[in-house]
Amino acid sequence: MTFSNLVDTFRQLIHRFPDKRTGRNTIYSIEDVVLGAFSVLTTQSPSFLAHQTAMAENKGKSNAQTLFGIQAIPSDNHIRDLLDAVPPQQVFPMFEWVFNALNELGQLQVFRAVEDQLLIALDGTQYHSSNCIHCKNCSVKTHKNGRTSYLHTVITPVIVAPGHNRALPLEPEFIVPQDGHHKQDCETAAAKRWICKYSARYRALNVTLLGDDLYSRQPLCEQVIAAGLNFIFVCKPQSHPTLYDWLDQLEKAQVVQTLRIESRHGKRREIDNYRFVNQLPIRDGDDALEINWCELTTTDSDGKVVYQNTFISNHRISADNVVGIVQAGRTRWKVENENNNTLKTKGYHLTHNFGHGKEHLSALLASLNLLAFLFHTILDMMDTKYQLIRAKLSSRKMFFQHIQALTCYHCFDSFDALLDFMILNRPGFSGDILV
Ligand SMILES: [Zn+2]
């Protein structure tokens, strides 16, 4: 899968978008408009289209055309106007195409974790908050002082694996006011919708969902199991009093199993103490779901606790798999660190207001941003030239700065030609890879 491959496939998918425009509005094709926005997010260069318009006027060609296949470069205002009517779900088939292609190529195998599971971490992240800018799909929060905030939040599911430094984003689920519901939408309701929509695709692939304490409630756990998926969710004592009462009783009866593993990290010695027990009620009541529980407490040589967390799962827990179950549960932080924080603070400007619109623009741009992150992740997995460049320009911000500057001055025949140029011309890069 090359960058050109991905962009060509995306262009074909955009071609199927509904386009209700007539007359003068149709100067720009819907493909050019969507790819125009996507090019800004892929290069993380707000002025990309303005520079490419100037380059096209001077040189008769531009990187908008050679890298993204854009025939007529739309202005930022055209993009904002035309894309506001496009629901974000229109771009979701591209996430599915990439997932299927990676699966067919065997690229998902490296993500397999405990019990041969593919781990999908779910986490909500807020990407817009304003006291004045809002649209009909904003969530509304009224503060005690009467002030009103307008928010956009999205669940960003990602495939993660312990010891794997990449996170593969899947179709997001937006937390938006739902038709026929008076209550504000919330993260668990959005998670349930995501499971409904996509479980059929993942059921046969041995998938375990990861989530924080918000997810470890009976209705959601039941839905995960009914959908043919598995779960490992954080389970805090404060939110599960019945479960922890049972645990105290079982502890007194000495039936909670334990495992102790000592390890050295240089001069530092650490002790991992695992406790686990199967078939505990998740809550009070006769209809309580039985789940399996485990805990890891890590102490240093002085007995000081340096890590502690507890998880529940539908996977039966034993001394053979408890380390893997906890490792998988802990991988959930990757969705925060390697996905959401990257998107917000390390180059993707997810929270920056590229444009809000009155209907879909904000969510569509957030989806295109996630897709840009996915494209870069694919290149990082499969393109040796891209890997070489990212190894030298390890911060995404620096990588984007170089792309912005280069595409501002020179028209490259393709994305591959841009990578070749970077490898051949930057001191410290070896051109051997091009031979
Ligand atoms: Zn809004």
pLDDT at res. 46: 86
Of the listed ranges 141-145, 303-307, 349-353, the least confidently predicted one is 349-353
Q: Give the strand order in the sheet containing 230-234.
A: 168-169, 158-160, 118-121, 207-211, 230-234, 305-313, 290-300, 268-281, 257-265
Residue 425 Cα to ligand 1 middle (Å): 44
Query: Are residues 410 and 314 part of one domain?
Result: no
pLDDT at 23 over 80: no
pLDDT tens by residue, 165-192 = 888 999 999 998 765 555 566 889 999 9
**Ligand 1 mean position, distance from CA 299 (Å):** 46
**156 CA distance to ligand 1 centroid (A)?**
18
- Cα(129) to ligand 1 centroid in Å equals 9
Assess whether pLDDT exceeds 80 at residue 434. Answer: no
Q: 327 and 231, same structural domain?
A: yes
Query: How remote is the CA of residue 47 from the centroid of ligand 1, in Å?
Result: 24
User: Do the domain assignments include residue 51?
Assistant: yes
Integer Cα distance of 208 and 53 in angstroms:
47
Among 296, 314, 331, which residue terminates a domain? 331
- Quote the number of domains for the chain: 2
Q: Could you read off the pLDDT of 78-136 as tens digits, one per residue? A: 888 888 999 999 999 999 999 999 999 999 999 999 989 999 999 888 888 888 888 88
Say how many Å lie between the CA of residue 6 and the centre of ligand 1. 29
- Residue 26 pLDDT > 80, yes or no? no
Question: pLDDT tens across 265-316, in order?
Answer: 888 899 999 999 999 999 999 999 999 999 999 999 899 999 999 999 999 9
Same domain? For 327 and 389 the reply is no
Q: Residues 240, 327: one domain?
A: yes
* 107 in a structural domain: no
Half-sphere exposure of 280 (CA within 13 A, CB side): 27
Q: How far is the CA of 198 from the centre of ligand 1 (A)?
A: 25
Is-contact 94 14, C-beta < 8 A?
no
Same domain for 387 and 323, yes or no, is no
Q: What's this model's pTM, rounded to 2 decimal places? A: 0.91
Q: Mark which of 270, 302, 331 sits at the end of a domain.
A: 331
**Cα(138) to centroid(ligand 1), Å:** 4
What is the torsion angle, in degrees rounded to the nearest 10, for the CA atoms of residue 276, residue 277, residue 282 and residue 284? -130
Q: Are residues 230 and 327 part of one domain?
A: yes
User: Residue 433's pLDDT is what?
Assistant: 52
Rounded CA separation 169/378 (Å): 10
149: CA distance to ligand 1 center in Å?
10
Q: Are residues 8 and 75 in the same domain?
A: yes
The mean per-residue pLDDT over the stretch 258-268 comes to 91
Q: Are residue 222 and residue 319 in the same domain, yes or no?
A: yes
| Spacing, Cα 154 to ligand 1 middle (Å) | 12
Determine how many CB atoms are found less than 10 A away from the CB of residue 302.
6
Mean pLDDT of 423-428: 79
Q: State pLDDT tens for residues 190-221.
A: 999 999 999 999 999 999 999 999 999 999 99
Q: How far is the CA of 241 from the centre of ligand 1 (A)?
A: 38
The CA distances from residue 308 to 153, 231, 272, 304, 330, in Å, are: 29, 19, 10, 11, 10
Q: Beta-carbon neighbour count of residue 300 at 10 Å?
A: 13
The answer to whether residue 429 sits within a structural domain is yes
Distance 152 CA to ligand 1 centre (A): 6
In the reported structure, the alpha carbon of residue 369 is separated from the centroid of ligand 1 by a whole-number distance in angstroms of 16
Measured in Å, residue 86 CA sits from the centre of ligand 1 at 14
> Is 275 inside any structural domain?
yes
Q: Tell me if 92 is assigned to some domain.
A: no
Q: Please report whether residue 370 resides in a domain.
A: no
CA distance linking residue 161 with residue 327, whole number of Å: 9
- Distance between Cα 203 and ligand 1 center (Å): 33
Instruction: Report CA(62)–ligand 1 centroid distance (Å).
Output: 33
Tell me: do 231 and 307 sit in the same domain. Answer: yes
Expressed as residue numbers, the domain containing 13 is 3-83+383-434
The CA 130 to ligand 1 mean position distance, Å, reads 9
Residue 150 lies in a domain: no
* CA 93 – ligand 1 centroid, Å: 23
Checking if the pLDDT of 164 tops 90, the result is no
- The answer to whether residue 195 is domain-embedded is no
Domain identity same for 308 and 389: no
Residues 299 and 397 in one domain: no
Residue 435 has what pLDDT? 44
Distance 208 CA to ligand 1 centre (A): 32
| Same-domain pairing of 325 and 393 | no
- Kindly report, residue by residue over 322-339, the tens digit of the pLDDT: 999 999 999 877 655 655
Region 395-404: what's the mean pLDDT?
88
pLDDT for res 128: 84
Spacing, Cα 134 to ligand 1 middle (Å): 4
**How many whole angstroms from 363 Cα to the centroid of ligand 1?**
8
Among candidate residues 296, 331, 366, the one where a domain is terminated: 331
